[in-house]
């Protein structure tokens, strides 16, 4: 348990341990995001290859169901998850992405011989350098999937830094997983016995708002919002919508295998005698009821959640008011 808490703290799940980030990461202008071909010298064009395509799955907090969703995504033949003995199960590549943006901007602006370049030229070259850094990250993880794979899936149960996602990975697709914060917090306190209830409410609210704050004009293009509850109740329909967003062929998806998928790490059935989640235990999907567990809360718990995360719950579309 102590090791689990330490990992949570390192990941930024405790707001007392703030993740390092530049104070004001430079913004990459929209028109620069779609550049795939550029010239360093007149007549000498460079084209950036974008294979494999990156799909990045994020959730506001642990216990949001992102492992279930990622396993569903991997039922498609073209989607691969990097596997290796010493590789983490969650990649967390966006939390410190602001540093990459700052690095690209300051490096280009400070280069010798660039003193008289226009601001537009500096912006362009900064965007190109940042794109190359992003491609290098994809290339690294691509070494751990089959060479002929066209899509790579990475995941993270945190949304820190996702506002920079399209700047670092302009051609990639971001999938944001929404889930009722009350069920997330209930699962957290059930799974991790010493997890603070108020802290869970705050972290869910912050993580969810980062997803809801993404540019509306990019919805359905660069990122997609999906609801855990909808996927669980109708996985076939929801996966078809996700595949359309990713431009993946439905014929290569194993829809017939969905009902056979087990549930890993349920807070109800997979917590052992020591209070730890046993990820090796699988549960029958038919007997798994992940929605509405929060209804056992006391009045005091409900009031705490409403005070900290009630407005976010409404904004996310799970309630119309705070009188639940």
Please tell me whether the peptide bond between 52 and the residue prior to it is cis, using omega within 30 degrees of 0: yes
Region 291-317: what's the mean pLDDT?
Answer: 95
Which tens digits make up the pLDDT trace of 72-116? 999 999 999 998 878 888 899 999 999 999 999 888 888 877 767
pLDDT of residue 52: 87
The greatest distance separating any two alpha carbons of the chain, rounded to the nearest whole angstrom, comes to 70
Domain boundaries, the chain: 2-179+215-256
Q: How close are the terminal C-alpha atoms of the chain, in Å?
A: 34
**pLDDT level of residue 197 (50, 70, 90 thresholds):** very high
Sign (positive or negative) of CA dihedral 8, 14, 16, 19 = positive
Which tens digits make up the pLDDT trace of 181-190? 999 999 988 8
| 2-179+215-256 to CATH, choices 1.10.1760, 2.130.10, 3.30.70, 3.40.50 | 3.40.50
pLDDT of residue 298: 94
Is the per-residue pLDDT at 20 higher than 70?
no
Q: How far apart are CA 231 and CA 252, in angstroms?
A: 19
Which tens digits make up the pLDDT trace of 22-40? 445 556 777 777 777 777 6
pLDDT of residue 282: 52
Q: How far apart are CA 292 and CA 233, in angstroms?
A: 13
Contact 109, 122 (CB under 8 A): yes
pLDDT of residue 273: 56
pLDDT of residue 193: 78
- Give the predicted TM-score (pTM) of the model: 0.83
C-beta neighbour count of 289 within 10 angstroms: 10
Which tens digits make up the pLDDT trace of 243-299? 999 999 999 999 999 988 766 555 454 455 555 555 455 555 555 577 888 999 999
Query: Residue 305: which region, alpha, beta or left (left: phi > 0; alpha: psi -120 to 50)?
Result: alpha
Closest CA to 162 of 97, 102, 65, 101: 97
pLDDT of residue 57: 97
Query: Which tokens go with 282?
Result: 């699988």
pLDDT of residue 103: 92
For the chain, list the strands marked E by DSSP: 37-41, 44-47, 53-58, 79-80, 151-156, 173-178, 223-227, 263-264, 282-283
């Amino acid at each position: 348990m102590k090791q689990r808490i330490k990992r949570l703290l390192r990941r930024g799940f405790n707001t007392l341990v703030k993740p390092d980030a530049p104070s004001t990461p430079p913004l990459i202008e929209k028109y620069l995001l779609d550049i795939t071909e550029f010239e360093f010298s007149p007549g000498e064009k460079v084209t950036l290859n974008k294979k494999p395509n990156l799909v990045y799955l994020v959730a506001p907090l642990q216990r949001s169901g992102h492992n279930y969703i990622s396993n569903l995504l991997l039922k498609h033949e073209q989607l691969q998850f990097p596997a290796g003995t010493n590789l983490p199960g969650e990649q967390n590549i966006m939390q410190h992405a602001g540093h990459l943006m700052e690095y690209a901007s300051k490096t280009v602006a400070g280069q010798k011989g660039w003193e008289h370049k226009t601001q537009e030229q500096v912006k362009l070259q900064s965007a190109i350098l940042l794109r190359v850094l992003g491609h290098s990250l994809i290339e690294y993880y691509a070494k751990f999937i089959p060479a002929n794979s066209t899509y790579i899936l990475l995941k993270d149960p945190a949304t820190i830094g996702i506002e920079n996602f399209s700047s670092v990975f302009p051609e990639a697709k971001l999938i944001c997983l929404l889930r009722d914060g009350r069920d997330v917090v209930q699962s957290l306190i059930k799974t991790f016995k010493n997890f603070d209830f108020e802290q869970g409410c705050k972290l869910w609210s912050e993580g969810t708002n980062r997803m809801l704050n993404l540019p509306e004009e990019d919805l359905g293009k660069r990122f997609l919002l999906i609801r855990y509850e909808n996927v669980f109740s109708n996985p076939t329909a929801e996966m078809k919508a996700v595949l359309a967003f990713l431009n993946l062929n439905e014929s290569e998806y194993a829809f017939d295998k969905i009902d056979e998928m087990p549930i890993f790490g349920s807070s109800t059935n997979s917590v052992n005698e020591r209070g730890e989640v046993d990820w090796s235990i699988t549960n029958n999907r038919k007997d798994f009821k992940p929605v509405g567990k929060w209804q056992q809360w006391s009045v005091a718990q409900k009031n705490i959640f409403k005070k900290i995360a009630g407005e976010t719950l409404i904004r996310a579309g799970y309630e119309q008011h705070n009188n639940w």
